[in-house]
Amino acid sequence: MVSNHAPMVRATGMSREGGDMHITILGGGGFLGRKLAARLARDGSLRGQAVTGLTLFDITTPQPPTGAAFPVRCLAGDVADAAAVAQAVPADTQVVFQLAAVVSAAAEADFDLGVRVNLLGSLALIDAARRCAVPPRIVFTSSVASFSGSQQAEMPDDARQMPLNSYGAEKAAAELMLQDASRRGMLDAVNIRLPTVIIRPGRPNKAASSFVSAILREPLLGLETPLPVGEDFALWVSSPRVVVEWLLHAAAMDTAPLGTDRGINPPGLTVTVREMLAALSPAERALVKQEPDATVAGIVGGWPARFASARARRLGFQEQVGLPDIVAAFREDDLAATRAERGL
């Protein structure tokens, strides 16, 4: 696949390449990729082994985390470009986190872009993984959007993926291919269907679920924000802190108990918009303005809000904590940086 984005390398940290535990994060410049990289830099180890190299790959050169005691390569490239991905996944790679994606509303607006990044990107990763000395662990972030169901439905662990949008279809298709590549011994994948992750720092984005973070983040910043759905609307959510725990657990766990089924519905939290607003002060709550939006409601309205997640709990995936903790974590981890980024 041809790319306009030639890989560019910026090395940081120690100069030694390769070694025992080389990790790559595709989409390493994004919201969750940056948090995961920061955590790896802090821990310095994964699976009880010292990290000996980390590659961050994104469409523009990602920033390295601070304080890493191992070398960090920061590459710019297109995840659908097999040659660029091969460069990001050297032969000694043990773990790849595949987080690169275009988000739901963007993939719905541009079918070709969504297929290229969200599906062909994972096929390029399979290609790269096959060149590794040992089949690497692939941790793939799939999505709640790969399912559909009513607000009342509780999805069992073996629920069928019937996406109602192109993003969800691309995620489900990528999952199937990673699962088959695992069966063939080309790699060793764990596909985590993430709930909507709140509270996303920064600005509103093109995800249909952008409002889910915005109705908490914007009032905490003292800003008004629209609410496109009703207050009874239920959502399946998780916090960035717990998602990072899930990603690390997926990277370290024994995959033998998974058998052929590589999909994980993690133990997320079911909340209504009303419950979310109750986590705000009355003054903050007044900044959230009802503004029904049929397009947004149409996309997120098809995402189930309840999952059984019994298998994930059995496999040791951490339970999502409640809303007050999620809001407190945002205040602690991201509020100041978001204010600074937005000049508030």
Ligand X SMILES: NC(=O)c1ccc[n+]([C@@H]2O[C@H](COP(=O)([O-])OP(=O)(O)OC[C@H]3O[C@@H](n4cnc5c(N)ncnc54)[C@H](O)[C@@H]3O)[C@@H](O)[C@H]2O)c1
Q: Which residues bind ligand X (CB under 6 A)?
A: 27, 29-33, 58-59, 78-80, 99-103, 117, 141, 143, 194, 196-197, 209
- 227 is annotated as an active-site residue: no
Catalytic choice (167, 236, 246, 307): 167
| Nearer to ligand X (CB atom), residue 19 or residue 244 | 244
Taking the complex as a whole, the smallest distance from the CB of residue 31 to ligand X amounts, in Å, to: 4
Instruction: Check: CB of residue 140 under 8 Å from CB of residue 123.
Output: no
Distance between CA atoms of residues 123 and 138, nearest Å: 12
Provide the minimum distance between the beta carbon of 167 and ligand X in the complex, in angstroms, as a whole number.
7
Hey, what's the torsion of the CAs at 227, 309, 169, 62, to 10 degrees? 70
For residues 89 and 99, which CB has a smaller minimum distance to ligand X in the complex? 99
Phi-psi region of 302 (alpha: psi -120 to 50; beta: other; left: phi over 0): alpha
Beta strands in 77-232 (DSSP E): 93-98, 137-143, 154-155, 188-194, 196-197, 225-227
Nearer to ligand X, 76 or 258 (CB): 76
Distance, CA of 241 to CA of 214 (rounded, Å): 18
User: What is the smallest separation between the CB atom of 44 and ligand X, expressed in angstroms?
Assistant: 22
CB-wise, 52 or 309, nearer to ligand X? 309
CA neighbor of 47 nearest in space, from 18, 21, 19: 21
Cβ nearer to ligand X, comparing 143 with 148: 143
Q: Which is nearer to ligand X, 19 or 110 (CB)?
A: 110
Q: Which is nearer to ligand X, 76 or 187 (CB)?
A: 76
CA dihedral 141, 149, 113, 86 (to 10 degrees): 20
Can you read off the two tokens belonging to residue 155? 């999805």
Min. distance of Cβ 134 from ligand X in angstroms? Answer: 25
Smallest gap from Cβ 310 to ligand X, in A, equals 20
Write the CB contacts of 119 (distance below 8 Å, at least 6 apart in sequence). Answer: 170, 173, 174
| C-beta separation of 63 from 55 below 8 A | no
For residue 224, the 8-state DSSP code is -
What is the C-alpha to C-alpha distance for residues 290 and 296, in angstroms, rounded to an integer? 13
Q: How far is the CB of 265 from ligand X (least distance, A)?
A: 12
Neighbours of 322 (CB within 10 A): 12
- Residues contacting 298, CB < 8 A, separation 6+: none
What residues does 75 pair with on adjacent strands?
9, 57
* Minimum separation from the CB atom of position 191 to ligand X (A): 11
- What are the residue numbers of the active site? 167
